Amino acid sequence: QVQLVQSGPEIQRPGASVTIWCRASGYSFSAFGLNWVRQAPGLGLEWMGWISPSTGRTKIAQKLQGRVTLTADRFTPTVYLELKTLISDDTAVYYCARDLSQSSVGLPAHWGQGAQVSVS
């Protein structure tokens, strides 16, 4: 079965960077895209970006361009989200989520457990 396991909670200072990871198992890692979605406390879902593990191609939400870097390691198999120049508004739970199918690009269907990032 598809399983996405994410890294643990992080506490960072404003201005710092954070890297969180998402390790995939139970399917062909290179065959499906992976999304990152975050949720600030008490608020809704914000789509952040998407990566194709096979090509390394990424799509990043416009408001986060320049601060977000997505990478994938096909050997581990793990995807990474680096968020730079942290501000308090980045405090959120960060989810990775696999695409539903190879043809449903950017449609999150299988979710990780979430990783709490706190900026203070």
Q: Which residues bind another protein (CB under 8 A)?
A: 35, 37, 44-47, 49-50, 59-62, 95, 97, 100, 104-109, 111-114
CB 113 within 8 A of CB 2: no
CB 21 within 8 A of CB 6: yes
CB 31 within 8 A of CB 52: no
Minimum CB separation of residue 101 from another protein in Å reads 9
Nearer to another protein, 18 or 97 (CB): 97
Nearer to another protein, 27 or 47 (CB): 47
Nearer to another protein, 12 or 107 (CB): 107
Q: CA triplet 4, 116, 111: central angle to 5 degrees?
A: 25
Minimum CB separation of residue 39 from another protein in Å reads 8
